[in-house]
Amino acid sequence: MGMTITEKIMAKSSGKKRVEPGESIWLNVDVLMTHDVCGPPTIEIWKREFGDKAKIWDKDKLVIFPDHYIFTKNPQANRNVNILREFASEYNVPNYYDVGTDRYKGVCHIALAEEGYNLPGTVLFGTDSHTCTSGAFGMFSTGVGNTDAAFILGTGKIWEKVPESLKFIFEGNMPEYLTAKDLILMILGDITTDGGTYKALEFDGEAIFSMQMDERMTLTNMAIEAGAMNGIIKADEITEKYVRERTDKPYEIFESDPDAKYRETYRYQVNKIEPLVAKPHSPDNRDTVRNVAGRKLTKCYIGSCTGGKLTDFYNAAKIIFGNEVKVPTFVVPGSTYVARQLEVETINGITLKEIFEKAGCVVAQSSCAACLGGPVDTVGRATDGEVVISTTNRNFPGRMGSKKSEVYLASPLTVAASAITGFITDPREFL
Amino acid sequence: MEKIIKGRAFVLGDNIDTDQIIPAEHLVYSLSDPEEAKNYGRFALSGVPLNQSGLPKGGIPFVEENQYLTKYQIIIGGSNFGCGSSREHAPFALQVAGAKAIVAESYARIFYRNCVDGGFVVPYETLEKLNDKIETGDQLELDLNENILRNLSKNETYKLRPLGDILPIIEAGNIFEYARQNNMI
Ligand code: SF4
């Protein structure tokens, strides 16, 4: 019996020839990532448990990005960043990307890719549920709590249960009106928010391999919305080119055997999928944009690790070009690199940033911002009674700041079309 | 560790997410200062809508107002217990309130790991749906040797899925104790 890509990477990392779904194994971790919300308690547990002997297992493998609650006056939030700062200087952590300096990178999951930490065949853990994003690079990546992260910090090891895999094959060429976001909303509607629990979601098919890395990351990012352990896409030439432009560290490419075992295989023809939304209050509450078109909005939001990447803004700018937004619209680059690219990439000779600004959008600093609500002074935060359409990944009650708001999740094309009408709008009207 | 956990049942529905277990607004308290950390017990499960809290009747808070400890030691859940964020404050809050174990059809992965590795509560999976059989307040006995749950109030016994590979970590207390006992750290 063959193995899946996830099983092969886990076998390699645990020093075994083969592993079986359901088996618990100890993995050797290649990278541990943490941020300002979960970093401080992780450090506290690490100090408590390892005492005077507390030693970072491998400084080069620890990566810390402040990104969640950083542009705020909130004292507890600022205290957290200070704890990271002091820790990084006390222990000489080389990969600390401090806010307020030119090392600042933005949202952790995007920065991991851009800074060359995502390497095919490796194992990455992070103190954030969306750590599964890195799986777009043909690697195993998943989120853990603070205790597990503290354990990794001291030992470089962690146990994990080998997941069963579900396979999602997308056939055909992506139509102009569809994005990776629509594909993952399709899956979530089909398998629901616990359909992937303790499982690996493997994405395959020509539509997937025609995508650039940042679109692929939208799929793996939202694997956790199905409760999955990881999402994964095997590395190809596009992956290798992206990685080689950023690092010369070694990596190894794995792929699933033809006779690998899947719990279930789902097949989709992309030209049969329409632009989709997730209605309030769950990412699996799928509907077509057509069915909810006309819903009056109070705010539009383009940002986060899901929907704040360069391709997302390029797609949005295509539609917004030459128009004005009818409701407050926030453009929040997922990383400082993306923010710089907004001033470089053009459509008809006009930079994306200018396109957004001329249309009346607020272009904010890169961070998690209102994706998870955040302190009251967070840019783009939802308030009571608002109806928001957003490119983010979660719309549980209160997620963007108010339990009394309604959040629709959609692709950047759909959000852009909705921004210029003020109502939920099918992007096909503008393409 | 205790091999027989006795206590009263507190019954909940499906998809109890970490915001219901401990609402985000309460995450400000210190986890290490015991006096301050008592607040996690006070607000444990306070995000569950009251009519869904303490089934089948509902309307029963897990921890009574201005109290820090619960009267219920064993939580009976449905499917996808602990979904949502990776916050470790969730299983911690249940422990601080005095809960010892959860018995649910299925768990969200990160919550489940946090329960075990932090040594907060014992998460058992059921082979059958139990949150429509057990009532809040029933006197229960959870037997870790036999992997069964006895309902003394109803004179029923339910089979549970053996804890399997995580049992040694639970027996040791948490992942650090486990690693020390096995000379890993
Ligand atoms: S952008 Fe949103 S989903 Fe992504 S890491 Fe930040 S808070 Fe989490």
Which residues of A fall within a CB distance of 8 Å from B179?
151, 155
Average pLDDT in chain A: 97
Range of the domain at B132: 4-181
Q: Could you read off the pLDDT of B18-76 as tens digits, one per residue?
A: 989 998 778 778 888 899 899 999 999 999 999 999 999 999 999 999 999 999 999 99
Lowest mean pLDDT among A43-52, A72-81, A298-307, B50-59: A72-81
- Kindly state whether residues A252 and A392 are assigned to the same domain: no
Distance CA A14, CA A29 (A): 9
- Same domain flag for A286 and A258: no
The pLDDT value given to residue A195: 96
The distance of A37 to chain B (nearest Cα, Å) reads 10
> Nearest CB to B185: which of A127, A154, A193?
A154
CB of A107 within 6 A of ligand 1: the answer is yes
Q: Which residues constitute the domain of residue A29?
A: 5-16+23-268
Above 90 in pLDDT, residue A322?
yes
Q: Give per-residue pLDDT as tens, A348-375.
A: 999 999 999 999 999 999 999 999 888 8
A36 lines ligand 1 (CB under 6 A): no
Residue nearest to atom 4 of ligand 1 (CA): A305
Across chain B, the runs of DSSP E, i.e. the strands, are 4-11, 74-76, 101-104, 122-126, 139-143, 148-151, 156-161
Residue the block writes with tokens 């998870």:
A372
pLDDT at residue A52, rounded to an integer: 86
* Percent over 70 (pLDDT), chain A: 100
pLDDT at A315: 98
The reported pLDDT for the residue numbered A77 is: 84
Peptide bond just before A40 cis, omega within 30 deg: no
User: How high is the ipTM of this complex?
Assistant: 0.91
> Which residues does residue A159 pair with via DSSP β-bridges, in sequence order?
A26
User: How far apart are the C-alpha atoms of A325 and A329, rounded to whole Å?
Assistant: 7
* Interface-testing mutation among B25, B32, B110, with chain A (most A C-beta atoms within 10 A): B110
| pLDDT value at A151 more than 90 | yes
> How large a percentage of chain B has pLDDT more than 70?
100
Residue keyed to tokens 């057509």: A290
Residue A372 Cβ contacting ligand 1 at under 6 Å = yes
Give the bridge partners for A302, in sequence order.
A331
Task: Say what the pLDDT of residue B23 is.
Answer: 84
- Count: domains in chain A: 2
Q: Do B117 and A194 touch (CB under 8 A)?
A: no
Residues of chain B in contact with residue A146, where contact means CB-CB under 8 angstroms, are 88
**Is any atom of ligand 1 closer than 6 Å to the C-beta of A361?**
no
Query: Quick one: pLDDT at residue A208?
Result: 98
- Whether pLDDT at A296 is above 80: yes
Please, are residues A166 and A191 in contact by the beta-carbon 8 Å criterion?
A: yes
pLDDT at position A4:
98
pLDDT at B85: 83
Domains contained in chain B, number: 1
Task: Tell me how far apart the alpha carbons of residues A152 and B94 are, in angstroms, rounded to a whole number.
Answer: 25
Residue A180 shares a structural domain with residue A307: no
% of chain B beyond a pLDDT of 90: 84
**So what's the pLDDT on residue A418?**
98
Given pLDDT bands bounded at 50, 70 and 90, which one contains residue A74? confident
Rounded Cα gap, residues B157 and A214, in angstroms: 52
A376 and A403 belong to one structural domain: yes
For residue B142, the domain's CATH number is 3.20.19.10
One-letter amino acid identity for A427? P
- Cβ distance B80 to A193 less than 8 Å, yes or no, reads yes
Q: Which residue has the higher pLDDT, A404 or A208?
A: A208
> Considering only CB atoms, which residues of chain B are within 8 Å of chain A?
15, 17, 19, 24, 28, 31-32, 79-80, 83-88, 106-110, 113-114, 117-118, 164-166, 169, 174-176, 179, 184-185
- Shared domain for A308 and A332, answered yes or no, is yes
Indicate the residue among A268, A291, A314 that finishes a domain: A268
The verdict on A200 and A282 lying in the same domain is no
Contact call for B85 and A129, based on CB within 8 A? yes
How much is the pLDDT for A403?
Answer: 82
- Averaged pLDDT for residues B106-127: 96
Q: What is the mean pLDDT of residues A38-60?
A: 95
Of A249, A268, A287, the one marking the end of a domain is: A268
CB contact under 8 A, B108 and A194: yes
Burial of A229 (0-12, 13-18, 19+ CB in 10 A): buried
Nearest one of B54, B127, B85 to A393, comparing CA atoms? B85
* Facing residue for B110 by CB, picked from A24, A50, A143: A143
Pair A375, A411 in one domain: yes
pLDDT of A223 strictly over 80 = yes
Compute the distance between CA of residue A55 and CA of residue B118 in angstroms, rounded to an integer.
Answer: 20
